[in-house]
Structure 1
Amino acid sequence: MSVDAIGSVLGNTEAESSNSISQEEFLRLFLAQLQFQDPMEPLDNSEFLAQLAQFSSIEQNRQNGLQLENIARLNSSYQASELLGRSVEVSSDSGSLFGSISAVSFDGSGTTFTVNATDGNVVSGLRLSQIRVIRQ
């Protein structure tokens, strides 16, 4: 069972940015809609205001989502840093390894740990899913 929540990337910002429009783009579309509306059957002002209010609400929700994502990243970084110095049992390619966490690294793919093993070896690049037991 793989669990890599600490420091993992929470959202795909590239996909999200391609599916959304900026406020400036929305205003351009809004003005084009006003410019090319049928003069014999103009749209109701309340409909325009409703569209603008809806876009503002969506933009606010997007900003809230970004802020929550930042808070989650800070929280996961804090949790990972709390593991520094802890004694652990780690599953590795060569079997079980006992030691203490000496370093925590963060990158785009998540969090990795460096463990100073009791046999004197230093093992880097370990993931949270490889840690079996955490001791004080």
Structure 2
Amino acid sequence: MTINATNGLSRDLYWQDDNKVPDRNNGALTQADFFALLTQQLAFQDPTKPVENDQMIAQMTNFTMADGISSLNTNFKSFAESMSSNQALQASSLVGRSVLVPSSEMVFTGQDLSRGIIDFEQRATNVRVRIEKPNGELVQTITIPEVAAGKFDFVWDGTNSKDQDMPPGVYKIKVDANMGGENQSVPVMVYAPVSSVSLGQSGKGITLNLVGLGAFKLADVREISYG
């Protein structure tokens, strides 16, 4: 009689238990595991040196705190994800609308007026709004004799100093004024349409992609234009 060796048989020829329950604990110590270990510790303790009550309470307190912190972290992560989803939903509604953001550049579409806001902290005189090409070449200067403290709206119709139409594109904008007896540069905010929204990763938040101006954080938006 010949006996064949089974070492070369495929594992597929052996019966396997398809109903095997996977280990869902992944090595994590659950509350039941902790109390089982604590019970074993009490059962096998040295009768002459029993565990003190304060030691037992300390162990239970430490585990409860660790378990509570773990649960808190899980809940906070879920809350953060929910907040991020809500923010993303709100930001997506901005696509196609114009938003006001701080910028030293503005976009001229060739059709619509380019609009912006200058925020003066105090009364200003001899205000000059300079429109320049990307290479610094002067296109137009808008002069305003006097402006009260507060927000001042301005528009550019896309023409140069000779009243000639400029091509669509991105232009630099610079503002300076006399405030308190000194000539100072003044920050500018411009309106630009939102082309898309990017969802940040690793806690970077949500980014709005503006036509011609690039990416801006949602927190940078000062105003939303619904007109």
Normalising TM by the smaller chain, what interval?
A: 0.5 to 0.7
- 1:115 maps to which residue? 210
Name the CA shift for 1:96/1:51 in 2 (closer, same or farther; >3 Å). closer
Q: Is residue 89–residue 131 contact of structure 1 (8 Å, CA) maintained in 2?
A: yes
- Unaligned 5+ segments in structure 1 are 1-21, 117-121
Q: TM-score, length-normalised on structure 1?
A: 0.56
TM-score (norm. length: structure 2): 0.37
User: 2:169 matched to which residue of 1?
Assistant: none
Which has more radius of gyration? 2
Is the 8 Å Cα contact of residues 92 and 130 (structure 1) preserved in structure 2?
A: no
- Measured after TM superposition, the shift of residue 51 of structure 1 is 4.7
CA distance in 2 between partners of 1:46 and 1:82 (Å): 56
C-alpha separation between the residues in 2 aligned to 1:54 and 1:90? 45
Q: 2:71 & 2:101 partners in 1: Cα distance?
A: 43
| Alpha-carbon distance, 1:132 to partner | 2.5
- The structure with more helix, counted as a fraction of residues: 1
Aligned to 1:80: 91
User: Which one-letter code corresponds to 1:64 in the other structure?
Assistant: N
User: Structure 2 regions of 5+ residues with no counterpart?
Assistant: 1-26, 106-187
When the two chains are superposed, the root-mean-square deviation of aligned CA atoms in Å is 3.7
Which structure features the higher share of strand residues? 2
Counterpart of 1:125 (choices 215, 219, 224) is 215
Distance 1:111 1:42, change over 3 A: same
CA distance in 1, matches of 2:207, 2:74: 29
**Higher RCO structure (Cα 8 Å, ≥6 apart):** 1
CA contact (8 A) 1:112 1:124 kept: no
Rounded Cα–Cα distance in structure 1 between residues aligned with 2:209 and 2:192: 10
Partner of 1:16: none
